[in-house]
Amino acid sequence: MALDDQTRVVCLAGGVGGAKLALGLSHILDPDHLTLVVNTADDFEHLGLYISPDVDTVMYTLAGLSNPKTGWGLAGETWNSLEAINRLGGDTWFRLGDHDLATHILRTDLLRQGKSFSAICHLLSTKLGVKHTIIPMSDDPVRTIVHTDEGPLPFQEYFVHRRCEPRVRDFEFLGITSAQPHPQLLGSLSQCDVLIYAPSNPYVSLAPILNLKGVQEMIATRRSSGMRVVAVSPIVGGAAIKGPAAKMMIELGFESSVTALAEHYVGSLDGLVIDQVDATSAARIESLGMRVWVTDTIMKSEDDKIRLAQEVIGFAKKFTG
Amino acid sequence: MALDDQTRVVCLAGGVGGAKLALGLSHILDPDHLTLVVNTADDFEHLGLYISPDVDTVMYTLAGLSNPKTGWGLAGETWNSLEAINRLGGDTWFRLGDHDLATHILRTDLLRQGKSFSAICHLLSTKLGVKHTIIPMSDDPVRTIVHTDEGPLPFQEYFVHRRCEPRVRDFEFLGITSAQPHPQLLGSLSQCDVLIYAPSNPYVSLAPILNLKGVQEMIATRRSSGMRVVAVSPIVGGAAIKGPAAKMMIELGFESSVTALAEHYVGSLDGLVIDQVDATSAARIESLGMRVWVTDTIMKSEDDKIRLAQEVIGFAKKFTG
């Protein structure tokens, strides 16, 4: 099938990197041609509030409200509640901004009223003016446990509280075998022309989505019907643009390189988008059985995001049809 | 028993008026000689947060943090979360400030962890530097329903959302018969020399405390052993200093006057402190069988609060011993 402007795209995303590419894609694809599926395995409850960092990052980014300096949180955020929480002796290692708190309070309240997580996600993102569909990977709880040399740590405990310092040995996704993938995840995949892995952490952002039951099977079925799977590397010049991906690769016994990333995905990718600083790795990666697109993958401006999104779609078009 | 500096005082309080007198009392009595018992029947859950308006008003006031203009809430409060809640379509009729939210979030979280309401009250007020004991009247839920010409309304719905507009017919305290009075309420009463009713609403602030099981009996027992009960009138010049007390009196078929207030309390008070503007009512009130102390009862400055507290204690001393 020839891809054209009607390309139907599903993008799997984690937090900051995923949100950036998602924003670019949202500028070139209509809401009915783009489905953003977001990791929820790093969700957690903190001070009794249900917090979904990746979903919020994607939602705030698409709403044009995200903090351009950090990539997470809201622009113009204030920290008065957190200051008062500190005064009252509450935990403050997870930075809750005043505006951001509203999201967590309302989501927690609506969950308690019995609304599904994804319905709440739709409600809140619509209120913020987001037109594209953000789908949490599942309405059921999946929780990443990071097994480290200091023992098992819940993801946010490892990621935020411990600043990724403990050495990683393995990951576990509690609930992954019983969680139902969101119906729209399988539904959108079943009609998908291009599946994109955003430049997100392969271990803790994309693996939970890909390990939900039925997802790999649906992807395999669709690939045999012409769907192409392309990833944008979160590893640039041997380092992660953001987050602990490179550190994790090393601690798990791999190189932190685009080549090692390609080896991680071997067999499951049709193409990999790598940064120009890694151009010399292209031939080696292509020898693993996937095509390579070399470009500037660092998304600073909105224009960067749109250009990269266009290139990723264009890349997928080159080897389909 | 002669009262001296060792007077053991219990003060029953609602919100703003109660908090003001409580602050005055806290300046002249040691923590082990003053027990502040606060109404919890106007507590409610809002956006999934447990909110205890009277307890918080007393706590913030004793901590020196209350907003001097409103009497409730915190000085220097900001409203960024509420603005974001509004943007997300959440209810904003109950004004939740950013700093105040911290109290509700932590309290709700600690309740969910199984801590008792009063233990949390102690924890939070201690963190804010409050040295005197603030006791919620009960750790069990009691909820005021205001029966109005528009039907029954939960208290905060009547008080804040509807701004006390519906006409009052009656009050109901859900849970009052099964709620256990806080052990320290009965304990402090059992050793009390002077029981003070703060200038709080007789129907919705003091009645819930007084109607808890065993409280009237304990008061009667103690009065027969010399404890004196004095009230400070919340009605001044026929109006309530704050809140709907006068409007309620009229809607229930009474005058809104200190005399009608005295009639409401007849038999249960040894003395009533009234404002100088009501001096001409003193003789009529004394004919009802209670003593009267006439003074300036409007507490604007901290000095006003301390002076009134001293006068109330002094008044009680006059007719004991």
CA distances from B38 to A122, A123, B153, B215 (A): 42, 39, 22, 14
What's the average model confidence in pLDDT over B223-245? 94
- Residues A201-257 pLDDT 10s: 999 999 999 999 999 999 999 999 999 999 999 999 999 888 899 999 999 999 999
Domains of chain A: 9-318 (3.40.50.10680)
> Worst-scoring range by mean pLDDT, A65-79, B27-41, B141-155?
A65-79
B85: tokens are 């809640």
What's the average model confidence in pLDDT over B203-228? 97
Q: Do A48 and B108 touch (CB under 8 A)?
A: yes
Q: Do B85 and A78 touch (CB under 8 A)?
A: no
* pLDDT score of B2: 38
* pLDDT score of B69: 87
Distance CA A37, CA A184 (A): 9
Chain B residues lying within 8 Å of A105, measured CB to CB: 47-49, 81, 85, 90, 101, 105
* pLDDT score of B318: 85
When pLDDT is cut at 50, 70 and 90, the band that residue B128 belongs to is: very high
Chain B residues lying within 8 Å of A127, measured CB to CB: 87-89
- Residues A111-129 pLDDT 10s: 999 999 999 999 999 999 9
* pLDDT score of A1: 34
- Residues A67-93 pLDDT 10s: 988 888 999 999 999 999 999 999 999
* pLDDT score of B320: 61
What count of CB pairs under 8 Å joins A to B? 96
Sole residue written with tokens 């509450």: A90
Q: Which of B55, B74, B86, B87 to mutate: most A Cβ within 10 Å?
A: B87
* pLDDT score of B1: 34
Chain A residues lying within 8 Å of B100, measured CB to CB: 84
Name the pTM for this structure. Answer: 0.94
* pLDDT score of A242: 86
Sole residue written with tokens 């955020």: A77
Task: Give the chain B residue nearest A92 (alpha carbons).
Answer: B102
- Residues A1-38 pLDDT 10s: 334 458 999 999 998 999 999 999 999 999 999 999 99
Residue from the list A87, A88, A99 with its beta carbon closest to the beta carbon of B80: A99
Chain A residues lying within 8 Å of B81, measured CB to CB: 81, 98-99, 101-102, 105
For residue B133, the tally of other CB atoms under 10 A from its CB is: 18
* pLDDT score of A320: 61
When pLDDT is cut at 50, 70 and 90, the band that residue B220 belongs to is: very high
Phi/psi class of residue B74: alpha, beta or left (left: φ > 0; alpha: ψ in -120 to 50)?
A: beta
Task: Give the chain B residue nearest A123 (alpha carbons).
Answer: B88
B1 CB contacts (<8 Å, ≥6 apart)? B193, B226, B320, B321
Q: What is the mean pLDDT of chain B?
A: 95
- Residues B182-195 pLDDT 10s: 999 999 999 999 99
A260: tokens are 């090692």
Chain A residues lying within 8 Å of B47, measured CB to CB: 105-106, 109
Q: Do B98 and A112 touch (CB under 8 A)?
A: no
* HEC assignment per residue over chain B: CCCCCCCCEEEEECCHHHHHHHHHHHHHCCHHHEEEEECCCCCEEECCEEECHHHHHHHHHHCCCECCCCCCCECCCCCHHHHHHHHCCCCCCCCCCHHHHHHHHHHHHHHHCCCCHHHHHHHHHHHCCCCCEEEECECCCCEEEEEECCEEEEHHHHHHHCCCCCCEEEEEEECCCCCCECHHHHHHHCCCCEEEECCCCHHHHHHHHHCCCCHHHHHHHHHHCCCEEEEECCEECCEECCCCHHHHHHHCCCCCCHHHHHHHCCCCCCEEEEEHHHHHHHHHHHCCCCEEEEECCCCCCHHHHHHHHHHHHHHHHHCCC
Distance CA A227, CA A167 (A): 37
